[in-house]
Amino acid sequence: MTAPTTIHPAALLPDGALDILTGRLHKDHPDLDLDLCARIQRQSLEFLAACASNPGTSLTPSVMVDLGWHNLILHTEMYAAFCDAVAGRFIHHYPYDGGQNDPSVLDRTKNLITAAGYTIDEPLWALNAADCGNDAPCGSHAR
């Protein structure tokens, strides 16, 4: 018996979209090299796939992974279609109300990404939880 194959969530984007997203991320953050931008964007899609697989569970991206999530959200039509394809619903993004930089939330998030069949790109998770501008980390809740 073979293990089931996990389809990468990038396959749910239109042709060429991952390259467009990676290029935009690099344009907005020229201090990050193109390869790193591609890794960030892919891991953000895997993060969102884990959010989709765990409705009602609060998941929080790292600072780096959140860059990719914000980048995808800027492409509103693409983001809405991606959410529908991966989750069958919109995945909302809003500030998390829990303790800032709670390592247990990041650990839970990483564990659920792994449980969904994806590999954690550890260097992207080395920093604290993302901060969306109100002194609290960003989060995703299915409501």
The answer to whether position 86 is within a domain reads: yes
Q: What is the pLDDT of residues 57-89, one digit of tens each?
A: 889 898 899 999 999 999 999 999 999 999 999
Instruction: Give the model's pLDDT for residue 11.
Output: 85
Domain count, the chain: 1
Q: What residue ranges of the chain have pLDDT lower than 50?
A: 1-4, 99-100, 129, 131, 133-137, 141-143
Give residue 107's pLDDT.
92
pLDDT score of 136: 44
| Residue 76 covered by a domain | yes
In a domain, 2, yes or no: no
- pLDDT value at residue 140: 52
Q: Is residue 4 part of a domain?
A: no
| Residue keyed to tokens 């964007």 | 41
pLDDT of residue 23: 98
**Within a domain: 134:** yes
Asked, for residue 38, whether it belongs to a domain, the answer is yes
Query: Which structure tokens are listed for 95?
Result: 């500030």
What rounded mean pLDDT belongs to the chain?
A: 84
**7 in any annotated domain:** no
Residue 107 to residues 9, 67, 77, 103, 122: CA-CA distances in angstroms? 21, 19, 31, 6, 11
Cβ–Cβ under 8 Å, residues 68 and 40: yes
Within 10 angstroms of residue 133's Cβ, the number of other Cβ atoms is 8
Domain that holds residue 109: 13-139
